[in-house]
Amino acid sequence: MVSGFDKYFQIARCLRDEDLRSDRQPEHTQIDMEMSYATPDDVFKVVEGMMQYLYKEMLDYELEAPFPRITYNECMNRWGIDKPDMRFDMELIDFSDIVKNCDFKVFADNVKNGGVVKGILLKGGGSYSRKQVDNLTDLAKSHGAGGLAYILSAEAGDKSPILKFIGEEVKDKLMAHAKAEKGDALFIISDAKLKTESILGQLRLHLGKEHNLIDKSIWKFLWVTEFPLFDYNEDSKRFDAMHNIVSHPYEEDLPLIDEGFTSELDGTDMNHPWRKARAIQYDLVINGWEIASGGQRINRKDLQKKVLSILGIDDARAENMFGFLLKALEYGAPPHAGVAAGLDRLLALMTESESIREVIAFPKTANAMSLMDGAPSEIDSEQLDELGLQLNLNEDD
């Protein structure tokens, strides 16, 4: 865009250094697009047109545009995930106001300390056995939950291990707020807001598949917008980019960037200015799969350097790692926005495949090995000497 192209697209072969799962491979293919003097609305219109054409030509399916647009915060609040599968209901329910003054300390103290108490309602789940509840509890714990509270409603009466703590009155308020009927089940998590929502989001997806609640005959498209610009890394005690280092902040959030440098708040505090800054970043989600991701790019050197500084990259390191980008921005990069759609994920969805491995020629294993040619193979000492390299192996290697 700096060199003067007003728009471009490419079919790009990409490599990633990430944990592998069904929708990820070490290599993947993207339909990459970028446009100068464009807004997100321009990008949305192009992508929606492309998707309408693809689905009509390949599946004879008529897509309605424009696609719904939902902010990241709303997604997390309603579905507990930033790529919600909207082919079934079961939205998250907030019980914080009901339990904030109850006698159950686990709930009340958590709310007083800034946490939330939320749950999901499973219609017809009141007949859950102890084994089913234990399995769901184990799943919740595998995602970081300390435990799983529940209320099983049956004709003979409601069953719950927390009933003796919350009492009948609070229990009835919880069930009424969830619009629960006899025969339903209510599952509840109490923790920090984002953690609570994320755990329930995974339980929701599990229950949707377990009980065949997903209507597989329809396609649900949506744009997820207004992602946080930064994400605090608890392990390294610093901020990371939520998506990438070149996402432009919303103009009204630019003061938060400068304010954060002088803030005395710890990065774990949700009121830290950098935690409130939003990126002009968007994802296209189809049936619970993130299919495309993009955003408006930073086009000013001073702003880019501030963002790199927040990520712990000083001027010297920034010049060494991203000198080419910073130099390019000195020439006056135009405002520009783009998006990249994952071709493999799109094909997997359209062919109803469970994994992108089924639509990739010579896919890699979960350990990133190529079974066709045995790669990666052992490197002999002559090759190492020729390249001036040496192996530094741990004792366990």
Per residue in 314-345, pLDDT tens?
999 999 999 999 999 999 899 999 999 999 99
CATH class belonging to 88-210: alpha beta
Please give the pLDDT value at position 275.
93
Please write down the long-range contacts of 376-381, taking CB distance under 8 Å and 24 or more positions apart.
none
Residue ranges per domain, the chain?
1-72+283-299+334-397, 88-210, 230-242+249-278+301-332
Q: Are strands 221-225 and 185-191 parallel, antiparallel or unpaired?
A: unpaired
The answer to whether 92 and 79 have CB atoms below 8 angstroms apart is: yes
Tokens of 359: 């639509």
Please give the pLDDT value at position 19.
65
CATH class belonging to 1-72+283-299+334-397: alpha beta
Q: Using a cut of 0.85, tell me whether the model's pTM lies above it.
A: yes
Measured on CA atoms in the order 110, 91, 292, 355, is the torsion positive or negative? positive
Please give the pLDDT value at position 264.
82
Please give the pLDDT value at position 354.
86
Check residue 394 and report its DSSP letter.
-
Give the Cα separation of 132 and 194 in Å (integer).
26
Please give the pLDDT value at position 301.
95
Instruction: Provide the 3-class DSSP secondary structure of residue 130.
Output: helix
Q: Which stretches of the chain drop beneath a pLDDT of 50?
A: none
Please give the pLDDT value at position 213.
97
**C-alpha triplet 210, 216, 222: angle, nearest 5°:** 105
